[in-house]
Amino acid sequence: MSNATAAAATSPSADAAQSPLARLGAAFVGRLVIIIPYLWLLFFFLIPFIIVFKISLSQTAIAMPPYTPVLDFSGGISGFFDQFKQLSIDNYTWLTEDALYFNAYVTSVIIAAISTLLTLLVGYPIAYGMSRAPATIRPTLLMLVILPFWTSFLIRVYAWIGILKPEGLLNQLLLATGVISQPLIILNTYTAIFIGIVYSYLPFMVLPLYSSLEKMDYSLIEAAKDLGCPPTSAFWKITFPLSLPGVIAGCLLVFIPAVGEFVIPDLLGGSQTLMIGKTLWNEFFANRDWPVSSAVAVILLLLLIVPIMLFQQAQARAQEQGK
Amino acid sequence: MKSLGSIRRDFAPWNDPNAKPYIQFDNVTKKFGDFTAVNNLSLTIFEREFFALLGASGCGKSTLLRMLAGFEEPTAGRILLDGQDLRGIPPYHRPVNMMFQSYALFPHMTVENNIAFGLKQDGMPKPEIAARVAEMLKLVKLEQFAKRKPHQLSGGQRQRVALARSVAKRPKVLLLDEPLGALDKKLREETQFELMDLQQKLGLTFVVVTHDQEEAMTMADRIAILDKGEVMQVATPPEVYEAPASRFVAHFVGNVNMFEGKVAERTAQTTRIAGATGAQIVVENAGDAAAGADIVFAIRPEKIRISSRKPADAVNALEGEVYDIAYLGDMTVYHVRLDDGQMVRASTMNAARVTEDPLSWNDRAWVSFRSDAGVVLTR
C-alpha cells in the first residue's frame, strides 16, 4: 500500500521533470528550422558584405589582392587592433568629391525607374491576357514567358546587337518596307538599354502580375459593371487596386537588378552611357581600385535596401490593419 | 370556399388579363457553341413580384438571370423590361442590380464603400450617398460594421452587405443568384423571411435563381420550373405542389407517389383508373384525360393515410406490407409495398406523442386516400 502511494506520488513529479525537457527539445528543433535560413544569410550575405565593407574602408596597395589586408594577425593582438585605426572613410569622401559617381547613381536609378515603368506597361497587358485566357492554355502561355530563360542571358543580349545595329534586322525590315529611308540609330543609345532591360526582365514582371491577376474573381468585375461602372473604370477601380501586390513585387524584381545592371548597358548602351554597374566594373577591373569600388557597392546596396525596407514596413502595417 | 394550399398575400397580377407585364422573355434562345442553355423560352414577370427560377444545375436558370443583367446576350428572341427592349444595353446601363452567388464584395473596400460603389457611379452627391449608405446599413442591421473589410465579416454578414449593395441603387429589378446558397440551414431559414420582408418594404421586383425548392416555395409569389432550358410550369407554390403540370414537376418538387395506368372509365363526377399493376383508383379531378388514355396518377405522401385495418369509408384503399419506417420527429414516413408490388410512401404527422395504432416492419397495412387527394397527369 505504501509502495503504491509512493509510486503514485513520484510518477507525476517524474512526468513534470521530463516534460519541460521534452518541450525544450521540441523548441530547439523548432528553432533549428528557423536557424537554417539565417545561417544561409549569415554565410552568403552578411559575412561577404562585411568583407566588402572592410575593403571599402581600406587603402589601395600595389599587392595581391590590391588593398591592405582585411584581417592581419601577424602583428599580434595590438597589431590587429592597430589595423582598425588605419581604417578610414576616405573612399566614401572620395565618392562625394568626384561628380562621376553621383551622376552614375542618379542615371542608374533614373534608367532603372524608366525601364521598370516600361516593363510594367508591356508586362501588364501580357499578364492580364494570360489570366483571362482559357484555363487549358494558361500553362502553355506561362511556359512561353519562361522560355527565354532556356538560352543564356548573355547570348540573348548579344542577339539584340544584331537586331538593333544600323545595318541590323530591324533597320533592314523598316527600310525594305519603306517605313524609314534612313537607318535608325538605336544601338549605343539609352533607347537600346531600355529595350534590353524591358526584354530581359519582362518575365520577372509578368509572373508576379499574372499570379495576382489570376487569383482575382471575375465576378468582381461583373459586380462593378452591374453597379453602373463601365469596363475601363472597372479596371482602374477594381482590377488594378487588387493587382497592386503583384505590381509592387514585379516592379521591385525589375528595378533592383536593373539599377546595378552591367551587361545590358555595356553591350547595348555603348561607351558613353554612365551606369553604376559599369562604374563598379571599371573601378574593379580597369582601375584595380578595390576599396573605392567596394565603397560604390556598399552605397548601391544602401540605396536599394532603403526602398525595400520602406515597402516592407508599409506592407506589414497594411497587414496589421487587415488589408 | 376551396383553395389550393394557403394564400400568403393578396397579389395576383398574373390572373388579371389587363395587368401589364414588367419583364418579358419573348422566345429567348441562348446557345453556347453547340450547347443550348435556354431553348425558345417565354416568360412574363410582373412588377413587385417575387419570382423564382427553380431548376437543377445546368437547366439554364442562371443564364436567364445573366441575360437579364446584361452579362449575356440572347442568341435569339428578346427581353423586355418595362416595355424597353434590353438588347445591346450593357450591364452598366441597365436599371437592374444583381446579388451574386459568391457575393462578389470588393475585398479592398470597406463595407461602406462597397455599398456606396454603385451610388458613386451614378454621381450622386456625397451627403446623399452617406445618407443612403446609412439607411442601407440600418436595413441589414450592420451599422457597427461600416468600417470593416469583407474578410472581417462572417458569411451571413457578407451576404447582407451584398444584399445592401445590390438594393442601394433602388433598381427596378433585383436579381438574386442563389442568394442563400452559402449559408447554413438555420441562417438560411431566417434570411428567407428577411428577404421577403425587404421585398415588401422596398416594393421591388425580385427575380431569384435557386435549386432549393423549399427556398423557392417559401419566398416566391410564383415559381418557374425549368428543365433543359425550357419552362416546365409557371405557377404559385401551392399550384406547383398540388397541381403539377407534368410528371417532371411533380417529381421535382417534393415527394410523390406515381401510379402508371389507364383511364378505365369516365363519368360526370368520377374517373376510374386501372393501375398498370392492378390497383383500381377512383379520382374526381381527372382533367382532360380521355377514356383509354395512358396517364399517371400522382399523390403526395402526406395525403395518404396508413392504418392496420381497412378503413370502412375510404374510396381508395390498397393493401400491403410495411417495408420501412423513418421517424423524423415531427412526422413519420412509411414505405409500404402493396400486394401488386408497387411501393407507396405515406407520411403521418405525429400530432400526438403516443400512437394509438402502432405499425411495425412487415406488418400488414392499408393505405387509403380521398378521391380528390391526387392528380392525374397526362404528360
Residue-wise pLDDT for A159-186, tens only, equals 999 999 888 899 899 988 988 888 888 8
Residue of B nearest to A225 (CA): B92
Judgement on whether residues A157 and A63 belong to the same structural domain of the protein:
no
C-alpha cell of B111?
463595407
Count CA atoms within 13 Å of residue B39 on its CB side.
12
Asked whether the predicted pLDDT for residue A196 surpasses 90, the reply is yes
> CB-based contact (8 Å) between B106 and chain A?
yes
For domain B13-95+171-248, the CATH superfamily is: P-loop containing nucleotide triphosphate hydrolases (3.40.50.300)
Which is more confidently placed, B302 or A91?
B302
Q: Is A26 buried (19+), middle (13-18) or exposed (0-12) by CB count in 10 A?
A: exposed
Which of A225, A226, A322 shows the shortest C-beta gap to B149?
A: A322
- Strand B230-235 with B257-266, pairing: unpaired
Judgement on whether residues A93 and A73 belong to the same structural domain of the protein:
no
Segments of chain B scoring below 50 in pLDDT: none
Domain total of chain A: 2
> CB-based contact (8 Å) between B32 and chain A?
no
Asked whether the predicted pLDDT for residue A226 surpasses 70, the reply is yes
Q: Which of A57, A84, A111 is the last residue of a domain?
A: A84
> CB-based contact (8 Å) between A224 and chain B?
yes
Asked whether the predicted pLDDT for residue A62 surpasses 90, the reply is no
> CB-based contact (8 Å) between B90 and chain A?
yes
Q: Which residues of A257-278 are buried (b: 16+ CB within 10 A; e: fewer)?
A: bbbbbebbbbbbbeeebbbbbb
Contact between chains at B97 and A226 (C-beta distance less than 8 A): yes
Q: Which residues of A290-306 are buried (b: 16+ CB within 10 A; e: fewer)?
A: bbbbbbbbbbbeeebee
pLDDT reported for residue A70: 60
Which residues on adjacent β-strands are paired with residue B23?
B45, B81
Judgement on whether residues A263 and A218 belong to the same structural domain of the protein:
yes
Which of B70, B100, B152 shows the shortest C-beta gap to A223?
A: B100
Which of A228, A238, A242 shows the shortest C-beta gap to B92?
A: A228
Judgement on whether residues A23 and A6 belong to the same structural domain of the protein:
yes
CATH fold match for the domains B13-95+171-248 and B255-377: no
Q: Which of A45, A64, A84 is the last residue of a domain?
A: A84
Judgement on whether residues A186 and A276 belong to the same structural domain of the protein:
yes
Residues of A in contact with B105 (CB under 8 A): 223
CA distance B92 to chain A (A): 4
> CB-based contact (8 Å) between A178 and chain B?
no
Asked whether the predicted pLDDT for residue A57 surpasses 90, the reply is no
Read off the CATH number of the domain in which A306 is found.
1.10.3720.10
pLDDT reported for residue B177: 92
Contact between chains at B97 and A322 (C-beta distance less than 8 A): no
Amino acid at B343: M
Contact between chains at A224 and B102 (C-beta distance less than 8 A): no
Residue A227: other Cβ atoms inside 10 A: 28
Asked whether the predicted pLDDT for residue A262 surpasses 80, the reply is yes
CA dihedral A247, A250, A255, A257 (to 10 degrees): 170
Contact between chains at A228 and B121 (C-beta distance less than 8 A): yes
Q: Which residues of B111-123 are buried (b: 16+ CB within 10 A; e: fewer)?
A: bbbbbbbbbebee
Residues 6+ apart with CB under 8 A from A132: A218
CA distance B231 to chain A (A): 26
CA distance A226 to chain B (A): 5
For domain B255-377, the CATH superfamily is: Nucleic acid-binding proteins (2.40.50.140)
**Strand ranges in chain B using DSSP code E only, listed in sequence order:** 23-32, 35-45, 50-54, 76-81, 84-85, 96-99, 173-177, 205-210, 222-227, 230-235, 257-266, 271-275, 280-283, 294-299, 305-307, 316-327, 331-338, 343-349, 364-369, 375-377
Q: Hey, is B29 helix, strand or coil?
A: strand
Nearest to B225 by CA among B379, B47, B74, B87: B379
pLDDT reported for residue A54: 85
For testing the chain B interface, which of A215, A218, A220, A226 should be mutated: the one with the most B CBs within 10 Å?
A226
Q: What is the DSSP letter of B367?
A: E
pLDDT reported for residue B313: 82
List chain B domain ranges.
13-95+171-248, 255-377
Residues of A in contact with B165 (CB under 8 A): 227
pLDDT reported for residue A316: 77
Contact between chains at A227 and B69 (C-beta distance less than 8 A): no
Asked whether the predicted pLDDT for residue A10 surpasses 50, the reply is no
Measured CA distances, A275 to A111, A117, A158, B2, B55 (Å): 8, 18, 19, 93, 67
Which run of H or E residues covers position B199?
Answer: helix B185-202
Mean pLDDT over all residues of chain A? 84
Domain extent at residue A42: 2-84
Residue indicated by cell numbers 548597358: A265
Residue indicated by cell numbers 523598316: A174
* Interval A109-127 mean pLDDT: 95
Share of chain A above pLDDT 70, in %: 86
Nearest to B207 by CA among B31, B59, B23: B23
Contact status, residue A206 vs residue A145, Cβ threshold 8 Å: yes
Contact between chains at B98 and A229 (C-beta distance less than 8 A): no
> CB-based contact (8 Å) between B165 and chain A?
yes
Q: Hey, is A316 helix, strand or coil?
A: helix
Judgement on whether residues A113 and A237 belong to the same structural domain of the protein:
yes
> CB-based contact (8 Å) between A319 and chain B?
no
CA distance A233 to chain B (A): 9
Nearest to B64 by CA among B234, B240, B319: B234
Residues of B in contact with A236 (CB under 8 A): none
Amino acid at B73: E
A residues 234-293 closer than 8 Å to B (CB): 237-238, 241-242
Positive or negative torsion for Cα A176, A180, A181, A182: negative
Which of A219, A228, A242 shows the shortest C-beta gap to B100?
A: A219
Judgement on whether residues A47 and A125 belong to the same structural domain of the protein:
no
Q: Which of A84, A107, A126 is the last residue of a domain?
A: A84
pTM over cut 0.80: no
Judgement on whether residues A127 and A15 belong to the same structural domain of the protein:
no
Which is more confidently placed, A17 or B93?
B93
Judgement on whether residues A158 and A24 belong to the same structural domain of the protein:
no
Contact between chains at A226 and B69 (C-beta distance less than 8 A): yes
Nearest to B24 by CA among B87, B73, B93, B81: B81
pLDDT reported for residue A156: 92
Peptide bond before residue A65 is cis, with ω within 30 degrees of 0:
yes
pLDDT reported for residue A129: 94
Per residue in B67-79, pLDDT (tens digit) is 999 999 999 999 9
Contact status, residue A197 vs residue A115, Cβ threshold 8 Å: yes
